[in-house]
Amino acid sequence: MVWIYTLISVVIVSAVSLIGIFLLSADYRKLNRTLVYIVSFAAGTLLGDAFIHLIPESFKNNSAMASLYILGGIIVFFILEKFIHWRHCHEIACDNHPHVMSKMILVGDTLHNFIDGIIIAASYLVSIPVGIATTIAVVLHEIPQEIGDFGSLVYGGYTRVKALMYNFLTATTAVLGAVLVLFINNRVENITGFLVPFAAGGFIYIAGTDIMPELHKSFKLKQSLGQLFFLLLGIGIMYALLFLG
């Protein structure tokens, strides 16, 4: 059952990369106005999943080392961003992405999606509700990121069709990451005891250092209230998923 849920989830996550199909003739200005609320929702689900699902499970299963693994997740994601130039641009046309960065974006995305698969599989090994919550958080984070990556690849010189194809190919590494975790689960003792708090640290890092600063780019009252609403909605949905178990 865990295999089925996990594989369905990572296939869905991979399919999110095809959202670029809807951008082939999109009005980027209108799309950016919508993205700010999707990003707010994603921040809420990432934080909600980390603090409501992953961290409590971490301390339940491995209270002695959980804090260090959470910090480890934060530090590793920081290193990835620094040395692999892992980008999470939430704007369609990101001017600080030069043409030479396009291939680096693909490399970073490949690793990013591979880790997403690992995190989703580890969450399902804890329980089905935790796995579902993590999948939702990953998907909602992927939507603005994949849109941003698609725009960045086009800006970097790829045709829209090639950008869409390469985006999808990098996304399929989520399946490889998930299969790896499920395969070695019975061979490595308490693998979830490390991966679950590590995932929590990664989610906190992404939400706190990448997504939240994006939300502070606008100080208009109406937009700010909308951001707060979707942020709280994302957290609320993560809380509601507790009742699945």
pLDDT tens readout for residues 147-205: 767 766 776 677 778 888 888 898 899 999 999 999 998 787 778 888 899 999 989 99
Each residue's pLDDT tens digit, 22-80: 665 556 566 667 777 888 888 899 999 999 999 998 898 767 789 999 999 999 888 87
Each residue's pLDDT tens digit, 207-226: 888 788 878 877 788 888 99
pLDDT score, position 204: 93
- Give the amino acid at 175: V
pLDDT score, position 91: 54
Question: ∠ CA 145-148-154 to the nearest 5 degrees?
Answer: 140
pLDDT score, position 112: 80
Burial 148-178 (b: 16+ CB within 10 A, else e): bbbbbbbbbebebeebbebbbebbbbbbebb
Tell me the domain boundaries of the chain.
2-20+27-244
191, 185 contact by CB (below 8 A): yes
